[in-house]
Structure 1
Amino acid sequence: MEVTFTATRQALLRRHGLVFIAPGAARASERHLQAIEVELAQLGYVLSWRLRQRLATLEPDELALHLRFVATALAAQVGANVRYKPLFRKFPEDVPKDTSELYLRKVLCHFLQVEGQPCVFCRRVGTTHVLSPCMHVVCDHCFDGENYSACPVCEHHVDRSSPFFKPGPFLARSLPREKVRFKLLDLGEDLPGAAQALVQSFCARKQVMSSVDATDLQAVVGEFGEAALAWLPDKIAVRENVARIFGVLLGKCDAMATFAVARAHLATATDVLRLLAAYSLADPSLQGETVRRRIERPLEGTAEARWATKLAQLFPGAAATEAATPAAATKPAKTLHPYKMVSVHTYRFKVAPLRRPLRRAILAHLESMHPVGLIEDMLRHRSYWQWVGQFLHPHEYADRFPNVARAFAVVRKRAPDGTPAPQFVGFHAAIEAAARAGDAAAMIERLKARPGELGRRFDHALRVAGADAAAQDVVISAFTAAAPRLANPLLLTLRGHLPTRGRPAAVRVFWPKGQVTKGTSAPDRRAPLSPGVIAAAGEAVERELLARFAAKPGFENCVIDEALRDIVVPFNERTASRAAVSLPRGSRVALPAGKVVRLFLHWCQPEGGRTTDIDLSVAFYDEDWQYVGVCSYYQLKFEDVATSSGDLRSGPFPDGAAEFVDVHRERARARKIRYAVMVVNNYAGMSFSQLERAWAGMMLRDDLGGSHFDARTVELKFDLQGDNGVFMPLVLDVAESTMHWLDVYATGQFALNNVATSNQAITKICPEMIGYFASGVRLSLFELALLHAAARGRRVVVRGADGLRGFTRDGNESAQQFLRRIRAGERAEAGALPGVDGPPVFAALFCGDVELPAGSVCYALYRERVVAPIAASDLLS
C-alpha cells in the first residue's frame, strides 16, 4: 500500500475541502471512524457522509495514513502544527501585575545572584539553580518554576531538565468549552479533473495572484508536467502567471518543446524576462530583492576614510555594528577592523543554465518583436537585462539578431565595440511631455495605442484637460471607445474610484509594487472632477462590466449576502499576507459580542540561525487616536483590559516560541477606548522573511481556560513576511465591535522596535487606511456580486440582517435597470433560499452555512458547509 499526499491534494483540501481517496476492499471499524472524527473535530472539521462511507472501505493502516496526511495539512493551515508554550504557562492566570517590579528583579538577579549563595531576595539557601546555557542563577522560591517555560531572567529558551522547572497538574490542558462552527470535508472523485479546473481558473484570473495562489499554481503544474500543457487556454490574462506556468514546465519537460508552446504567450521582452526568472526559481514579479552585506570600514585617518563617509551618506538608514574578527582580538585597538551592515536592493537573480539551443530560441523570439517596443520594454528593467545579457550572449549573434544586439547596446549604453549607444525616447516620456505641456489631446492620441495605459491614466488626462469642455470630450470619448479592451480589475477599480472624485479625498493612499504594503500616503492635491464627467465615465464602466458578466453562464436563482458590503474586492494581492482565510485588505468583519479576542504569535529561527526576538503587542487609542495605553513585553497587563502571556526572546529551532495577548472588548469600551491595534514588532535578530516560519492570528474565545491555542476558534491566521520591522495586521474597533483588516507594514527601526517607537507610524497609517477604505474608493464584494447577479440571474435573493428580500427580473428589463432596482430595493418581495434539489445557483456568501444544489457556483468568505467554492479573485474574471 502506497498513499502519496501530493501538493495538488493538499491544495484541493485547503481550498475546496476535498479529500481524494480511492475505494478500498476492506471494512474499517466504527471505532476507527469515530477516532478520525474526534481528531478532525479538534481542528474544526467534520466529515461528510460520502467521505465517511469511503473511509469505511479502507484498511486500518491505510485509514491512519490518510488521517495523518489530512490532519497535518489542515493543522498547518490554521497554525495548529506546532506546540504553543508561552513564557507564563499558567496564562492568562498568574501573570505579574507590576511589570516594573518584575524587571527590577530580573536586573538584580542578573547582576547580583551568585551560584551557591543565599538568594538576594528571600535569603534562602539551597533554592537557587543555574540554568544552561544562559548561566543565570534563579531561585525557585522567588520565581515559580511551574509557571515559567524559559529563563525568568533573560527570557531565552534553556535546558528544561533543570530542577527549577516543575511540572504542574494544570499544564496538561484540555480543549476549552467553545461554540464551534465546523467546516465540512467532502469526498473528491476526479483528481486530474479537479486539478485541471483549478489551473484553468488560475489562468482565467485577470490580476496578479496572491502568494498562496501562485504557490498552488506552480505545484499543480509541476506535478502534472506535460499533461498540464494540454489544459492551458489559448490566452492567459496575467503575464506573471504565464511565467510561473512555463517556468515550471521548462524545468520539468523538454525545454525546446515547452518554449515552442510558450512563444504564443510571450508578447513583450518583459514576458521573456519573467519567464527566465521563473525558470531560474526566482520571483517573476521582478521586484528585486534586499540582501544584507557586510562592508569593512576603514580606520580613521586612513585614505579610505573619505569613502566610508560617502558610504554613510548613501546608506543613512543602515545600522552600524562594531565588531572584530577573532584574529584581530589580540591586536592593539588601532588595528581592529569594524564593519557596517548595509541593506542593498539588487535587481538580478541566479540564472539557471541556458543551453545554446534555448538561448538562440529566446534571442530569435526577441528579434521577432517590434524594434522600438523591444528597446522600450527592456529599458523598463534595465538592471535585469544588463545582468541577463551576460548569460544570453547577444553579441555572439549580432549578425543574426541585429535588433536584439541594438537593444542590448541601448540598455548597456554602449555597443560591443565600445561606442556610445544611440539615444532613445520612449512612449512614457512622450506622454509625460504632453502632460507637462497641458495637451490632453496629444496624451490621448498616444494612449489610444495602449488601452490599458489609457484606463490607468484616465483620471490624469481629465485633470490635464481641466475645464476645457472640448478636451474633456476627447478624453471621455477615447475612454469609452477603449473600455471594451480594458481588464476587469481596472474597470472595477474605476467603478469604485470615480464616484469619490467629486471632492478631494482626506488623504491619497498609494499601492506601489513591493513585497509588502507600507501604507504610503500623501495629501490629495488633485482637482476634483465634474459630476458630468464622473457620470459619463461611470455609465460606460458599468455598462461594459454588465455586458461581460452577461456573457457568462446564466442562473435561475442568485443568493447574495449583504454582509459582503464590508468586504473589499481583492486588489494588490501580490503583497497580501499568506492566510488561512483570504480576507482582502481593507475589509471589515463584525465580531460577535461576549467573546474575548485572543491574539497569537509564533516564530521559529532556522537551524543555526541568529537569535531572534519578535514581540506581540496591543496598543490602545481613544476616539481621536490619542494614545491610551499598551499591553506588551514592558507592560504585561493593561488594567483589566488586556493581558500578555509574557515576552520570549528567542525562538530556537525546531519548536520556536509563542506569545499571546487577551483583549476584553467590553472592558475596553467601558474605559472610553475606541481602537485596539495589533502590532507585531521585530525587536532583534533576523527579519520576518529569513525565519524558518513566522505567523500570527486571532482567536475568538468563550473559555480562556484549557489549551492556550484552540484551532477551532481561529478566525484569522496569517504569515509574517518581508524585511520590515513593524507589522500592523488589524485594528479592533471596540465601539462598533468590528475588526479592520489592514495587512500593512512600517519600516520601523533596524532593531528595538516596540509600540513606543512605532506610535507615530501607527497613529498615521491606521486611521488613514481605515478612512481610505471607508470612503468607498474600493468596490465591495457585495457590489461585484450584484453586478454578476443582475447580469446572469433571473431571481436574486439578498440575505441581510432583516431577513431575505427577493427580486425577479422582468421580461423586458435590462441588466442595468434590474441592477438599479435591486440597489434601490424597489418591488422587493419575500425571498427564500433555493432548495438542494433545484437547479444550480450563483451565490456570494459571507458564511457558507447553507447547502446548495449540485453544480452551483459559490463564493464564501468562510467556507463552512460549502464544498469547492470559487475564490474572490475568480469573480473578477
Structure 2
Amino acid sequence: MDNLESLVIARRLRVPISDVPGSPAVPGQGWGEVAARQLDATLLSAGFKCSAALLERLARLPGETVVDLGVRVLAAVRRLAGDHVQHNTYFVDFPRNVPDTVEFWAVLLREALLDPVAAERVQPSTLNLLALPRYGRYQHTYADLLAAHAELMPLAGDRVTVLELGGSLESEARELFMSLAGSQVPLAAEDLDALRTLAASCADEPEHIPVRENRAIVNELRLAAGRPLIVDTVTDVLRVACGASGGDVTLATATRFRSFRRAERRALLQALDAVASPAKLGDVPRHREQWKRLGERLHPHEYPQFPAAAQVFDVARGDRRARSLNGRVEAALLAGRAGDAVRLLEKTPGALLRRLDHLLRTGESPSAVLDAMEEAAAQASGRVLLSLREHLQNRAVPAVGRVFANRHSRAWAAADARPPLGDDVVARAAAVLDEEITRRLPDPGELVVDANVLDVALPLSGKAAAPGLGMLPRGSQARVDGELLRFFVYWRQAGRRTDYDLSALMLDDTYGDAEHVSWTSYRNGFAEYSGDLTDAAGGASELINIRLAQATRRIIIPQVNIYAGEAFDEAAEAFFGYMTRDAGQEGLPFEPRTVRMKSDLRGAGRVALPLAFLRGDDGAWRVKWLHLYLKGHPNFNQVEGNRVTTSLLVRSIVEREQLRVRYLAGLLQAKSSPAGHTTYIGLQAPAGLPDGSRVYTPATLHELIPA
C-alpha cells in the first residue's frame, strides 16, 4: 500500500486520506493540529507545503496518524526533489574557491610524488589522474560540507509546490490507473511500471485502451485471471506473452519466454486465432525471432482447433509467405505507382497520415493525396492528427537539420534535403486537421488558461521523458527566474566503478564559438564546476554553478557523459536536475527548495542532453526541454568530443516549432461558453476553482489529447 501511496503523491501531488470521522475523543490523542503544522513546516524545507484543505483535514486526524502519514509523505516528496540522498561535493567551498584546473592537477601530482607509496603508481611519461591518491574521491565528510556553508536564506522566489488533499487511497489509485491506462499517448517506461502496479489493485478498467503497450499490461492480469484478452492484431498477443514472462511489452528487446500453463497456452492461441487473418499475417516477420521462441512455448500443433494461430508460426518459420502493408506500399512506390500506394494506405488511415509528406513528393496529384488525407483524418487517432499538424507547420522552409529519436530517446541528426511543400498544400492540409481536431475536443465550458503553460509542448509521446519534478514534454519552454543557475547530477553504481561527468557546453547565437566547463576546465568567467568524482560506490554528486548575468554565451547546454562504467539504466540510481537562486542567497550547494526540475537518467545512450538554456533578445533566459541521449563511445566520453553533434541536435530542436498548449487552447476557446463547468489548464491548480472543474496540469496534460 505504501508503494501505491507514494505513486499517487509523486504523480499527482495529492495526499490520499480515507474519508473517516475526525479525531477520536481519546485523552492524549488530540494533538493532530500541532502535528499537521509541524509537518507543513518540515515539508517547506524541501520546497513543498500542504494546501489549506489538506492542512485542515490533517488537523482532524489523531496526532499519531499525522506523524505516520507525514513520514511517508516527506519521504515521497524528498525523493521527488532529489533530497533523499546527501549531495556532497569534491570542493568543500563550492562554488567558492574552485581552483584553476591545471594548478589543481599539479598540486595533486606534487603530493603524489612526495608520497613514496603513491609515487610508485605515477608514471613520469603520462599524467594518469586516477593514479593520484586525492583525485576523484571525497576528501571530506558531508558534515564537513554542512559546517562550511551557511543555512539557506529563504526567499519568496523559492519553489513551493502545493500538495493537495486527495480522497481514499483506493479512489486515488483507481483515478491514476484509469488516466494512465486510457492515455492516448505512449507512456514512459516508469509509467508502464506504475501502470502494472496500479492494475493489480484496480478491479475495473477503461472501456477503451488505445495504446497497445498499456493494453498488454491490462491483458497480463486478464490472462492470469482466465478472462478473455483484448486484442485486434497478432502483435497484441505477442506483447501479452512478453509481459506475462516479465519481458518488454514494447518489443524493443527480446524476451526469454517462461513456460505457460496449459490454460494460458489455450487462451493465447485462442486470442491469436481470432485475429490472425491473412491481411494481418504480414505483421509477423517484423518480430520473426520472437514468434519462433514463443511457438516453442505454446506448442500450437497440440491445438488443431486453432488453425489460424498455427499459420502465424508458419510465417515466422518461413513456411508461409506474408507481405506486410508497408512492403506492398514500398513496392508500389518503387515501381512509380504512387496512386496504388495511396489506395493501399486508405485502408489504414493512420499509416496514410504518417506518410502524407512522402506521398505529396512522389509525383501523384497533390489534390488526390489531400482528398485521401481528408477521408483518413476522420478515422485516425487524435495523436496522429496532432503529430501531423506539428509536422506541417515546420515544412514551409527546409530545416537546419532533422532530428530522429528512437523509443529510448537516443537521438541523431541529419541534414534536411527534402524540398519544401507548397504553401497552398500545407494550408489545405492544416485546415482539414484543425477542423477535425476541433470537432473532437470536448466542450470546455468556461475556459481558464494560465499564461505560463502556453509554451508547454503537447505530450504527443510520453516515452521521451521519465517522470519527475517539474518535468515537461520535449520542446517545451519555460522562463528561468533567478540570478544563479545550478545543474546537478547524482549517481550510485550497482556493481562496478562508474564515473559520470557533468559538463556544460556554451555557444553563441550561431551555435558556434564553443567553450565548456567540465572536469578538464573547472571554471571560466561565469561558471564553476564542483569537482570530478570517479567512483560512486556510496553515491556521488557533481554540480555546475552559472552566474547568468555574467554569461558571455547565449546558449548553455548541460550534459552528463559516461566516462566509464555502468550505463544510466544499469546504475543503482542516476538523476539530473537544476536549481535557481538569487546571487546573494546562501545555502548548501544542493538545496531542495531551489530545485526547479529533477528526473531520473535512464536513456540508452552514453551522453545525456536533458535541457538547453537560451537567452533571448530581451536578455531573459528560458529553458527548453530536450530529453535526448547520444550514442557516444563505450568509454571516455567528454564534452569536447561531441560538441558538433550536440550543437546540431540542439539547434534542430530549438528552431523547430512545436505544437504547444497554446494551439489547443485556441481551439478550445472557440468552443467555450460562460455557462456550465470550468476547464482549467495550468502548471498547478489554483485554490478556489468551482466544484466539478476539469483541471489539466503537466501530470494530466495527456488527457487533453483527443481520441
Both structures adopt the same fold (TM-score exceeding 0.5) = yes
The alpha-carbon distance between structure 1 residues 581 and 281, as it changes in their structure 2 partners (threshold 3 A), is farther
1:56 Cα offset (Å):
2.4
Q: Which residue number in structure 2 is paired with residue 759 of structure 1?
A: 643
Equivalent of residue 623 in structure 1, options 509, 528, 531: 509
* Alpha carbons 1:209, 1:573 under 8 Å: kept: yes
Tell me, in whole angstroms, the C-alpha distance in 2 between the residues paired with 1:876 and 1:658: 42
Letter of the 2:558 counterpart: M
Residue 595 of structure 1 corresponds to 483
Count of paired positions: 688
Structure 1 residue corresponding to 2:692, chosen from 836, 851, 855: 855
* Secondary structure in structure 2 of the residue aligned to 1:600: strand
Of the candidates 246, 254, 264, which is equivalent to residue 358 of structure 1? 264
1:723-872 correspondence runs (5 A): 723-735=604-616, 736-771=620-655, 773=656, 776=657, 778-791=658-671, 793-795=672-674, 840-846=677-683, 848-849=685-686, 851-861=688-698, 870-872=700-702
TM-score after normalising by structure 1 = 0.74
User: Are the equivalent residues in 2 in contact too, given 1:440–1:475 (CA < 8 A)?
Assistant: no
CA distance in 2, matches of 1:510, 1:442: 28
How much has 1:8 moved relative to structure 2? 4.5
Change (3 A) 1:32 1:843: closer
> The residue matched to 1:284 in structure 2 has which SS?
coil
SS in structure 2 opposite 1:740?
A: strand
Question: Which residue pairs with 1:437 in the alignment?
Answer: 335
Is it true that 1:459 corresponds to 2:432 in the alignment?
no
**Cα distance in 2 between the residues matched to 1:493 and 1:169:** 49
Q: CA deviation at 1:53?
A: 2.8
1:846 CA displacement: 4.3
Task: Give the structure 1 partner of residue 218 of structure 2.
Answer: 245
SS in 2 for 1:638: coil
User: Which of residues 95, 101, 104 in structure 1 aligns to 2:106?
Assistant: 104
What residue is the counterpart of 1:187 in the other structure?
165
Query: What root-mean-square deviation, in Å, do the aligned CA atoms of Structure 1 and Structure 2 show?
Result: 2.7
Q: 1:77 aligns with which of 61, 65, 80?
A: 80
1:598: Cα distance to partner? 0.9
Distance 2:176 2:670 in 1: 26
Equivalent residue for 2:408, pick from 506, 515, 523: 515
CA distance in 2, matches of 1:586, 1:201: 23
Matched, 1:41 2:44: yes
Structure-2 separation of matches of 1:559 and 1:747: 42
**1:531 has 2:423 as partner:** yes
Higher relative contact order (CA 8 A, sep 6+): 2
Residue 755 of structure 1, CA deviation: 1.0
Aligned 1:602-641 pairs, distance under 5 A: 602-606=490-494, 609-639=495-525, 641=526
Q: Does residue 481 of structure 1 match 2:380?
A: no
Aligned equivalent of 1:141: none
Q: CA deviation at 1:178?
A: 2.8
Code of the residue aligned with 1:660 in structure 2: it is: L
In the alignment, the residues of structure 2 paired with residue 101 and residue 11 of structure 1 have an alpha-carbon distance, to the nearest angstrom, of: 50
Q: Is the 8 A contact 1:206 1:489 kept in 2?
A: yes
Cα displacement (A) at 1:706: 1.8
Amino acid at match of 2:135: C
* TM-aligned CA distance change 1:484 to 1:39, over 3 Å: same
Compared CA separation, residues 582 and 442, structure 1 to 2 (3 A): same
Instruction: Deviation per CA, 1:361-396: give whole Å up to 9, x if none.
Output: 211221222432342121121121122222112233
1:30 Cα deviation from its structure 2 partner: 4.9
8 Å contact from structure 1 (residues 14, 77) kept in 2? no
Q: CA deviation at 1:33?
A: 3.1
Give the AA of the match of 2:483: K
Partner of 1:369: 275
Q: Contact between 1:844 and 1:860, CA under 8 Å: does it hold in 2?
A: yes
Q: Which consecutive residues of structure 2, in runs of 5 or more, have no partner in the other structure?
A: 123-131
SS of corresponding position for 2:665: helix
CA distance in 2, matches of 1:189, 1:847: 18
Residue 534 of structure 1 aligns to a residue whose secondary structure is helix
Work out the CA distance in 2 between the residues paired with 1:166 and 1:591: 31
Deviation at 1:181, TM superposition (A): 4.0
What TM-score, normalized by structure 2, do the two folds share? Answer: 0.91
Distance across 2 between alignment mates of 1:613 and 1:233: 44
Q: Does 1:222 align with 2:127?
A: no
Is residue 499–residue 565 contact of structure 2 (8 Å, CA) maintained in 1? yes
Show CA shifts across 1:606-655 (max 9, x none).
2xx1011111111222222224422111221112x0011111111114xx
Equivalent of residue 236 in structure 2, options 262, 271, 280: 271
Change (3 A) 1:156 1:373: farther
Q: Does the Cα contact within 8 Å between 1:287 and 1:515 map onto a contact in 2? A: no
Where in structure 2 are the equivalents of 1:412-427 lying within 5 Å? 412-413=317-318, 421-427=319-325
Counterpart position of 1:284: 249
**Contact 1:559 / 1:841 at 8 angstroms: preserved in 2?**
yes
User: Percent identity at matched positions?
Assistant: 28
Q: Deviations over 1:288-310 (max 9, x none)?
A: 1xxxxxxxxxxxxxxxxxxxxxx
Matched, 1:59 2:69: no
Q: Summarize the Cα distance change of 1:167–1:375 in structure 2 as closer, same or farther, 3 Å threshold.
A: closer
Unaligned 5+ segments in structure 1 are: 121-133, 137-150, 289-347, 414-420, 796-837, 862-868
* Equivalent residue, structure 2, for 1:210: 188
CA distance in 2, matches of 1:850, 1:28: 26
Secondary structure, counterpart of 1:410 in structure 2: helix
